[in-house]
Amino acid sequence: MGKKIKIFDLTLRDGSHAKSHQYTPEQMATLAGQIDKIGVEAIEFGHGNGLGGSSLQYGFAAASDRDYIEAVSPVIKNSNMSIIILPGVGTRHELNLAKEFGAKYARICTQISEVDIGEQHIKMAKKLGLIPISVLPCASVIPVEETVRYAQMAESYGAEVVYLLDGGGYQLPEQTFERISAMKKAIDVPVGFHGHNNLQLAVANSKAAVEAGAEYIDCCLKGFGAGAGNCPTEIFVAVLGRMGIESGVNLYQTMDIGDQYLRPLMPRAMEIDSDRIMLGYAGCYSSFLLFAQRAGEKYQVDPRDIIKEIGKRECTEGQENICIEVAYDLAKEKLAKQTSI
Amino acid sequence: MQKIGVAIIGPGNIGTDLMYKVIKKSKYLDLKLVTGIFAESEGLRLAREEGIETSARGIDAILERDDIKLVFDATTANAHMKHAPLLREAGIVAVDLTPAAVGPYVMPVVNLNEHLDAPNVNLITCGGQATIPIVYAISRVTPIPYAEIVATISSKSAGPGTRQSIDEFTITTSRGIVEIGKAQKGKAIILLNPAVPPMIMNNTIYALVETVDEEKITKSVENIVKEVQEFVPGYRMKIPPTFDGNKVTVMVEVEGSGDYLPKYSGNLDIETSAALAMAERIARDRLLKIKKGE
């Protein structure tokens, strides 16, 4: 077939969400050194919300961006270093930091309909000599033609790969196939996909993306990431093997590193419980999960109701504060109902 | 009443909203020109409808005449970096609504009278104007080692100028939290939300405080909200100060007056109302000086 899929391993970035951003730099460096051996194209690491994400809004990380990158950059030898920023959260300072430590890829993540706020940072990354990748969440809530138009805009700014990101694990495989196929026809640069597993469709969506022509897929060891997690690296490597597609990733080694080095750091196995199913059903960002649960506890409302309402309000990546507002509103409503009875 | 001649450069969402406010509300400003770079733009068309002279030759149209003493710049951070030295050389005061931050930061409820003689004043950002008053209100009660703001605006109210200056927007707002809000460290997060119907501008302010005096902090925040309301009536507290250890969380929303875009665009109002208040004060000061023969 000759086709090769490039896997970006996000265990140390999306996985940060599942650890409330509490990886120590040493833990990150140890894991990065192991993941470096398995044959993935890139290793992305840092705060779950990207460089610059450490905050009250998303949670402070255990260490600064600089501490993490200082620890991780020397151990990545075979793979490549990737960082991600959300314009409006991360800035040129973070791109400069990534450049200083030799990152290869700078991924710029913006809500798909807001792709133009990524223009500035895509161009800055390119100027610095980083390979800019545009990562676009929430394509499944807009028509295929619009998805294509925004992908073309990302390409016109200089993105060298354009990703669709299904942050809520809400997308169905046929939606993924349809959108990636249409993008492949309309743009010249490669296409990528990033899935979440809240409806247990991360692998199916990633497979559909590959069938439609995607060449870049985001995975995490054991699926360790926000919400119910991401597309598990081990499983996807096995699936690609069954499909007869080259990934360059060693299956046994991937499994062993997951068991030996990651599992002891995981607060819990990646099971799909009620609140996580709700994320996928409502189309709410996986990274909102812990915030919805905390707000639910503070204001005594069911986190599922919070998640459902967030889906309705079409919240974008980064709007974690909405959990407080929604919980506050629901609690007020509940109180009003009780007093009126 | 005597007035001073002013121009608006950059007839986008912010420039157009400002135009209506100057026409409707100003006492001391005579809007002589609206200038942009696209002759067919919506903003220039609306200006002509109001009987205002327009030009598509940008800054040049201002520099070649001598009846303009103050310019509102509502272009982009990059464009203002070019405009600022030209305006300064021509002796024209620049009221900068981009996040270029060439001149000192101004915020009506904090330092309205501090920079009346500056050649260039900067309005920080709409996110800054909506949130930094709250930071300031808390820091006058107790020191704030760290404050953070999250401003969420509807996609429809963020025009191309704002989008192409997102990096400066983030950095300038962070600095404003420290310089005007008086927090020791500041961080700003700016989010655009595409939901339909568009959401009203929503702002969350977090502060880690040294001394948790719930009563004093709440009172101070309530007072500043009232002060902001005097020039932006749609500014209101959505969630009053909520205390969690040494963390204070406040949410405010800003409903616009609908001068240009509909009411969800409170981000336009808070920025343009602050710019107008500032320019009015500068103009009044100048006119008083002329009267006194200074």
Task: Look at residues A265, A298, A332 and tell me which one is the last residue of a structural domain.
Answer: A265
| Two tokens, residue B163 | 């989008």
- CATH no. for residue A325? 1.10.8.60
Q: What residue type is assigned to position A47 of the chain?
A: H
pLDDT digits (tens, 9 = 90+) for A57-114: 999 999 999 999 999 999 999 999 999 999 999 999 999 999 999 999 999 999 999 9
- Check whether residue A294 and residue A154 sit in a common domain: no
User: What average pLDDT score do residues A246-266 get?
Assistant: 97
Domain count, chain A: 2
Q: Does A243 touch chain B (CB under 8 A)?
A: no
Q: Does A190 touch chain B (CB under 8 A)?
A: no
Residues 176-235 on B with a CB inside 8 Å of A are 187, 189-196, 199, 202, 204, 206, 208
CA–CA gap between residue A91 and residue B171 (Å, rounded):
7
In the DSSP assignment, the letter for residue A258 is I
CA–CA gap between residue A239 and residue B278 (Å, rounded):
63
Determine how β-strand B53-55 pairs with β-strand B29-35.
Answer: parallel
Contacts with A318 from chain B: Cβ below 8 Å: 189, 191
Q: Do B204 and A57 touch (CB under 8 A)?
A: yes
Q: Does B238 touch chain A (CB under 8 A)?
A: yes
| Two tokens, residue B143 | 């020191």
- Check whether residue A254 and residue A316 sit in a common domain: no
| Two tokens, residue A106 | 């700078």
Q: Do A319 and B191 touch (CB under 8 A)?
A: yes
Work out the percent of chain A whose per-residue pLDDT is above 90: 90
Q: Quick check: is A318 in a domain?
A: yes
- Check whether residue A94 and residue A213 sit in a common domain: yes
CA–CA gap between residue B233 and residue B280 (Å, rounded):
18
Q: Do A55 and B189 touch (CB under 8 A)?
A: yes
Closest chain A CA to residue B206: A56
Give residue B290's pLDDT.
87
Bridge partners (DSSP) of residue B201 are B254
Q: Does B163 touch chain A (CB under 8 A)?
A: yes
- Check whether residue A297 and residue A175 sit in a common domain: no
> At residue B241, what are phi and psi to the nearest 5 degrees?
-45, 125
Fold of the domain built from segment(s) B4-123+270-292: Rossmann fold (3.40.50)
Domain that holds residue A168: 6-265
Nearest to B148 among A56, A92, A313 (CB): A56
Note the Cα A285 to chain centre separation in Å. 10
CA–CA gap between residue A189 and residue B188 (Å, rounded):
33
Checking B165-168 for CB contacts under 8 A at 24+ apart, the result is: B165/A120, B165/B76, B165/B77, B165/B78, B165/B98, B165/B99, B165/B100, B166/A87, B166/A88, B166/A117, B166/A120, B166/A121, B166/B190, B167/A87, B167/A91, B167/A92, B167/A120, B167/A121, B167/A124, B168/B77, B168/B98, B168/B99, B168/B100, B168/B101
Closest chain A CA to residue B203: A321
Q: Quick check: is A203 in a domain?
A: yes
- pLDDT of A340 strictly over 80: no
Give residue B293's pLDDT.
81
- Check whether residue A293 and residue A214 sit in a common domain: no
CA–CA gap between residue A234 and residue A250 (Å, rounded):
9
Residues 282-321 on A with a CB inside 8 Å of B are 313-316, 318-319, 321
Angle formed at CA A311 by CA A307 and CA A315, multiple of 5 degrees:
105
- pLDDT of A1 strictly over 60: no
The ipTM estimated for the assembled molecules is 0.93
Bridge partners (DSSP) of residue A7 are A217
- Check whether residue A260 and residue A193 sit in a common domain: yes
Q: Quick check: is A102 in a domain?
A: yes
* Answer CATH for B126-264 from 3.30.360.10, 3.30.750.24, 3.40.50.2000, 3.10.20.90: 3.30.360.10
* pTM recorded for the entire structure: 0.94
Q: What is the mean pLDDT of chain A?
A: 96
| Two tokens, residue B287 | 């006119």
Give residue B181's pLDDT.
98
Contacts with B204 from chain A: Cβ below 8 Å: 57, 321, 324-325
- Check whether residue A259 and residue A298 sit in a common domain: no
**Which site among A319, A320, A326, A329 would you substitute to test the B interface, given the most B Cβ atoms closer than 10 Å to its Cβ?**
A319
Bridge partners (DSSP) of residue B152 are B191, B202
Closest chain B CA to residue A124: B167
| Two tokens, residue A180 | 């990636």
- Check whether residue A135 and residue A212 sit in a common domain: yes
- Check whether residue A45 and residue A191 sit in a common domain: yes
Determine how β-strand B146-154 pairs with β-strand B201-208.
Answer: antiparallel
| Two tokens, residue A107 | 């991924």
Note the Cα B1 to chain centre separation in Å. 26
Contacts with B187 from chain A: Cβ below 8 Å: 55
Q: Name the residue ranges covered by the structural domains of chain B.
A: 4-123+270-292, 126-264
Task: Look at residues A211, A233, A265 and tell me which one is the last residue of a structural domain.
Answer: A265
Q: Quick check: is A281 in a domain?
A: no
* A223 Rama class: left (phi>0) / alpha (psi -120 to 50) / beta: left
- Check whether residue A253 and residue A328 sit in a common domain: no
Contacts with B191 from chain A: Cβ below 8 Å: 88, 316, 318-319
Give residue A3's pLDDT.
67
Q: Does B237 touch chain A (CB under 8 A)?
A: no
Q: What is the largest CA-CA distance in chain B?
A: 59
Active site residue A17: yes
Give residue A341's pLDDT.
61
Q: Quick check: is A277 in a domain?
A: no
Q: Do A56 and B165 touch (CB under 8 A)?
A: no
Give residue A316's pLDDT.
85
- CATH no. for residue A185? 3.20.20.70
Q: Quick check: is A28 in a domain?
A: yes
- Check whether residue A240 and residue A329 sit in a common domain: no
What b/e readout covers A57-79, taking b as 16+ CB neighbours within 10 angstroms? bbbbbbbebeebbbbbbebbeeb
Q: What residue type is assigned to position A58 of the chain?
A: Y
pLDDT digits (tens, 9 = 90+) for A182-236: 999 999 999 999 999 999 999 999 999 999 999 999 999 999 999 999 999 999 9
List the pLDDT tens digit at each of the 294 positions of chain B: 699 999 999 999 999 999 999 999 999 999 999 999 999 999 999 999 999 999 999 999 999 999 999 999 999 999 999 999 999 999 999 999 999 999 999 999 999 999 999 999 999 999 999 999 999 999 999 999 999 999 999 999 998 888 999 999 999 999 999 999 999 999 999 999 998 889 999 999 999 999 999 999 999 999 999 999 999 999 999 999 999 999 999 999 999 999 998 899 999 999 999 999 999 999 999 999 888 887
Work out the percent of chain A whose per-residue pLDDT is above 70: 99
- Check whether residue A253 and residue A292 sit in a common domain: no
Higher-pLDDT residue of A340, A41: A41
Work out the minimum CA distance from B261 to partner chain A, whole angstroms.
19
- pLDDT of A2 strictly over 60: no
Q: Quick check: is A73 in a domain?
A: yes
3-state secondary structure of A215: coil
Q: Quick check: is A272 in a domain?
A: no
